[in-house]
Amino acid sequence: MAPPTTRRPSRARDRRAPGWAPLAALLTATGVLHFARPAPFASIVPRRLGDPLPWVYGSGAAELACAAGLAVPATRRPAALATAALFVGVYPANVQIAVSALRSRRASTAYRAVALGRLPLQAPLVAWALRVARAEGRR
């Protein structure tokens, strides 16, 4: 009888999964938007955090720093871990969007659906960043 084998993820599947470059591109685009158009981001900072602009600019700078770190092989793993932490850290803003949309009488049904639909999307982003970190740990 053949010994049981443990199934490991195939390298082909790892290559098909989005890697560090599209993640860095996403972070770069959103980071730049935080500086170019801060108003939409400011509107979703929870009120209890006070003045939203420092939070908007800080999170934009963090996204750009993570993107830059992902682009450098020597810093890719820590940058990917920082990216996962960043995605977890900005989750309260996504919750704020959903709460505001649900409370607003002016928000359309479509906007409410998008605001609520964003909430579970944060988990795949965190998983993506962690997958990049794991891939770098194997090299």
| Domain ranges across the chain | 20-137
Q: Residues 117-133: pLDDT tens digits?
A: 989 999 999 999 999 99
Residue 45 in contact with residue 92, Cβ under 8 Å? no
**pLDDT above 80: residue 3:** no
13: pLDDT confidence band, cut at 50, 70 and 90?
A: very low
Instruction: Calculate the dihedral angle through the C-alpha atoms of 16, 21, 27, 30, rounding to the nearest 10 degrees.
Output: -90
Q: Residues 67-96: pLDDT tens digits?
A: 999 999 999 999 999 999 999 998 988 898
